[in-house]
């Protein structure tokens, strides 16, 4: 990678203001600082400065993967859908798989993941157990036709992934490699300077024993993760809740479910691991408290009773509902609930054949105040309250019985024991030690390389811009020339050459811009060290050096390069 650049010749289009369509900080800053540009929904250009960071993230990932014993290869982006037919997930994968026909009417897809292609490759080459185990990885473009691409690099349609696939003769060997990958991921995310947490994840429809997701902790994260600070048990909420049964209300009884942090119906239902229709078995009361949680997302639906009944019925997938006359239907966080006047209760009766129980009502007048589900429960007295943050002893949501904390996370990595789910239909076979044909056992391990770029920015920013960790910054040093005299240009040139000779990556702002503009851009882009050559201090043979956002020290021009290493 080139060590140095002159800003005047470099393509870094920065923006003064936040782009209107960017919601999260990483999206705003990466656009403003000239790292990325949008091509179309969920598809981005990496501009030169953005590519530098991406390559540095990739380099850390590659170094640690190589160190772990995995071998890099490169598979194609375009995959024949025949392979997906063979594995049995062509239809199951759904509309995220972008399919198209070529001129010979052969159907292909853009690879969202590569289990099929790698199995196809290995199945043709694998003969004997002596070739196992092996772990093959690539760093490559993936395409998933996400229904809601958003937050810039966080959820793209086209994105960079590191994906690895390991092959083993038996489950024990797979477990060892799984642990090896788990440790490798911890090293990678630590080297990237991230606050992260590995959490247990559901193995879902694939089955298998073990799966962990790695989450970067950030308010903007799309996932909810549960964590116990006493026993360190951590899981994504789907996993944390999946082994708990959904709280059931008996007719005439209300179960309040506190779903802190959830701001949409999808999140609440993900949290409860049930669909929206099931949810209404239980009145969902979104905890209102804390700064970001203050607003009730959806407004109360008032007015024509009949209309509300129809809406409610629609929301829960019932044909009709019968509301007590003093009840109102409200929507909280996108979830339809039922509210009666304070102190009174209203019963909503839903057709039993739909397996929905009846629910009761929380005090309507409480909804605009700050209170938690627990407060409501206390208020109502005769209510069964289930706080999903509480874990009881022996509850498979936690190990020790202490309360669980919920936080938001960005999924940046995922490791999975696949077992024979793909190897069997794809016929990844080998001769075992007894000379018998056996199916290989597999693991797969993904890292969202481009999502990581956004995740780092989510954690490392301030009011002025991005604060890159030194090993990921596009350049280590931002060299700023203040003044137009020949002497100051010459001295800057000298510092620039010395930095290059010392192997320091430097972006020299040699533009004819005001110092204000130069400092703003330097802080926005986020180089960790600033070196300033200015007319005033140059008279004494000095330059200034300091870390971004901190104070600067004067030092002789000739000593800058040594100090910057
Ligand atoms: P998500 O739950 O965020 O949709 P996923 O579970 O579908 O992710 P995996 O199949 O586990 O993703 O892929 C491995 C990694 O690829 C993820 O952990 C994530 O870091 C990254 N990734 C997945 N989808 C995207 C995307 N749309 N944009 C950027 N990175 C992604
Ligand atoms: Mg996904
Ligand atoms: Mg996921
Ligand atoms: Mg995943």
Using DSSP's 3-state secondary structure scheme, residue 499 falls into: helix
d(CA 406, ligand 2 centre) in Å: 21
Burial of residue 245 (CB within 10 Å: 0-12, 13-18, 19+) is: exposed
- Among 222, 261, 266, which Cα is nearest to 27's? 222
Low-confidence ranges of the chain (pLDDT < 70): 1-2, 204-208, 241-396, 398, 401
Distance, CA of 228 to chain centre = 21
> Which ligand 1 atom lies nearest to the CA of residue 412?
20
Mutation test of ligand 1: which of 46, 114, 161 has the most ligand atoms closer than 8 Å to its C-beta? 161
pLDDT number for residue 236:
86
414 lines ligand 1 (CB under 6 A): yes
pLDDT number for residue 227:
87
pTM of the model: 0.79
CA dist 400 and 356 (Å) reads 33
- Among 282, 259, 279, 280, which Cα is nearest to 271's? 259
d(CA 446, ligand 1 centre) in Å: 8
Lookup result for tokens 């509210």: 339
To the nearest 10°, the Cα dihedral for 547, 548, 554, 559? 60
CA dist 391 and 407 (Å) reads 16
144 lines ligand 1 (CB under 6 A): yes
Q: Number of helices (H) and strands (E), helices first, in the chain?
A: 15, 32
112 lines ligand 1 (CB under 6 A): no
**Cβ–Cβ < 8 Å for 216, 253:** no
d(CA 227, ligand 3 centre) in Å: 17
> Which ligand 1 atom lies nearest to the CA of residue 446?
14
CA dist 437 and 423 (Å) reads 13
> Which ligand 1 atom lies nearest to the CA of residue 161?
16
> Which ligand 1 atom lies nearest to the CA of residue 447?
15
> Which ligand 1 atom lies nearest to the CA of residue 157?
27
Residues with Cβ < 8 Å from 98, sequence gap 6 or more?
A: 109, 110, 112, 143, 144, 145
d(CA 208, ligand 1 centre) in Å: 19
CA dist 370 and 294 (Å) reads 7
| Structure-token pair, residue 9 | 């010749």
155 lines ligand 1 (CB under 6 A): yes
161 lines ligand 1 (CB under 6 A): yes
Q: Which-ligand-closest: CA of 26? A: 1
ipTM of the assembly? 0.99
pLDDT number for residue 437:
98
**Cβ–Cβ < 8 Å for 76, 413:** no
Lookup result for tokens 């793209």: 156
156 lines ligand 1 (CB under 6 A): yes
Residues facing 340 on adjacent strands: 363
Beta-strand runs (E) in 207-290 = 211-217, 223-227, 234-236, 255-258, 283-285
413 lines ligand 1 (CB under 6 A): yes
Tallying the residues shown for the chain, one arrives at 565
- Among 539, 543, 528, which Cα is nearest to 496's? 543
Residue 150 DSSP class: B
CB < 8 Å & 24+ apart, contacts of 121-129: 121/75, 122/167, 122/428, 122/440, 123/426, 123/427, 123/428, 123/429, 126/167, 126/428, 126/429, 126/430, 126/440, 127/430, 127/431, 128/430, 128/431, 129/169, 129/430, 129/431, 129/432, 129/433, 129/438
d(CA 49, ligand 4 centre) in Å: 28
**Cβ–Cβ < 8 Å for 228, 402:** yes
CA dist 191 and 61 (Å) reads 9
Would you list the DSSP string of 95-136?
GGS-EEE-TT--EEEE-S--HHHHHHHHHHH--BGGG--EEE
Phi-psi region at 459: left, alpha or beta (left = phi > 0; alpha = psi -120 to 50): alpha
**Cβ–Cβ < 8 Å for 462, 34:** no
User: Which residue, judged by its Cα, is nearest atom 22 of ligand 1?
Assistant: 448
Measure Cα distances from 404 to 239, 241, 260 in Å: 13, 12, 12
- Tell me: the pLDDT tens digits for 545-561? 999 999 999 999 999 99
pLDDT number for residue 204:
65
Mutation test of ligand 1: which of 115, 411, 444, 456 has the most ligand atoms closer than 8 Å to its C-beta? 411
């Amino acid at each position: 990678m080139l060590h140095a650049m002159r800003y005047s010749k470099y393509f870094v289009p920065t923006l003064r203001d936040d782009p209107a369509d960017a919601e999260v900080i990483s999206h705003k800053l990466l656009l403003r600082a000239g790292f990325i540009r949008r091509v179309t929904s969920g598809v981005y250009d990496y501009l030169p400065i953005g590519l530098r960071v991406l390559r540095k993230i990739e380099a850390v990932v590659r170094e640690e993967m190589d160190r772990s014993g995995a071998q890099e290869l490169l598979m194609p982006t375009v995959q024949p859908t025949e392979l997906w037919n063979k594995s049995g997930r062509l239809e199951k994968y759904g509309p995220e798989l972008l399919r198209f026909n070529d001129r010979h009417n052969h159907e292909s897809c853009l690879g969202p993941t590569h289990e099929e292609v790698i199995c196809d490759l290995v199945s043709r080459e694998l003969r004997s157990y002596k070739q196992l185990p092996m772990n093959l990885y690539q760093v490559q473009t993936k395409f998933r036709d996400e229904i809601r691409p958003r937050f810039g690099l966080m959820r793209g349609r086209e994105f960079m992934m590191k994906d690895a696939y390991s092959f083993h003769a038996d489950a024990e060997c797979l477990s060892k490699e799984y642990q090896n990958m788990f440790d490798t991921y911890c090293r990678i995310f630590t080297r990237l300077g991230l606050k992260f947490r590995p959490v247990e994840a559901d193995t879902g429809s694939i089955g298998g024993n073990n799966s962990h997701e790695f989450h970067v902790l950030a308010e903007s994260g799309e996932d909810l993760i549960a964590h116990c600070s006493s026993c360190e048990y951590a899981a994504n909420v789907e996993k944390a809740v999946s082994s708990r049964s959904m709280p059931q209300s008996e007719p005439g009884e209300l179960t309040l479910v506190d779903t802190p942090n959830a701001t949409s119906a999808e999140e609440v239902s993900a949290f409860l691991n049930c669909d929206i229709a099931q949810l209404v078995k239980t009145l969902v009361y979104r905890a209102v408290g804390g700064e970001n949680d203050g607003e009730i997302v959806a407004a109360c639906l008032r007015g024509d009773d009949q209309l509300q009944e129809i809406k409610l019925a629609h929301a829960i997938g019932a044909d009709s509902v019968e509301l007590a006359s003093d009840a109102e239907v409200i929507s909280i966080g996108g979830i339809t609930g039922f509210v009666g006047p304070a102190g009174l209760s209203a019963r909503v009766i839903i057709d039993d054949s739909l397996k929905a129980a009846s629910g009761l009502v929380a005090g309507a007048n409480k909804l605009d105040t700050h209170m938690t589900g627990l407060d409501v429960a206390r208020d109502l007295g005769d209510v069964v309250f289930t706080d999903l943050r509480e874990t009881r002893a022996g509850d498979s949501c936690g190990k020790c019985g202490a309360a669980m904390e919920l936080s938001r996370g960005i999924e940046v990595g995922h490791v999975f024991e696949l077992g024979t789910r793909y190897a069997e239909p794809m016929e990844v076979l080998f001769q075992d030690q007894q000379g018998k044909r056996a199916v290989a056992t597999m693991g797969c391990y993904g890292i969202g390389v481009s999502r990581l770029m956004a995740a780092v920015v989510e954690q490392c920013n301030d009011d002025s811009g991005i604060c890159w960790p030194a090993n990921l910054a596009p350049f280590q040093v931002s060299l700023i020339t203040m003044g137009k005299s020949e002497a100051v240009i010459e001295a800057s040139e000298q510092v620039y050459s010395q930095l290059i000779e010392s192997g320091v990556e430097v972006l020299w702002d040699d533009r004819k811009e005001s110092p204000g503009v130069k400092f703003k851009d330097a802080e926005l882009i986020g180089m960790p060290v600033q070196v300033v050559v200015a007319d005033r201090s140059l008279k004494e043979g000095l330059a200034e050096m300091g870390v971004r956002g901190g104070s600067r020290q004067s030092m002789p021009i000739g000593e800058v390069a040594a100090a910057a290493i």
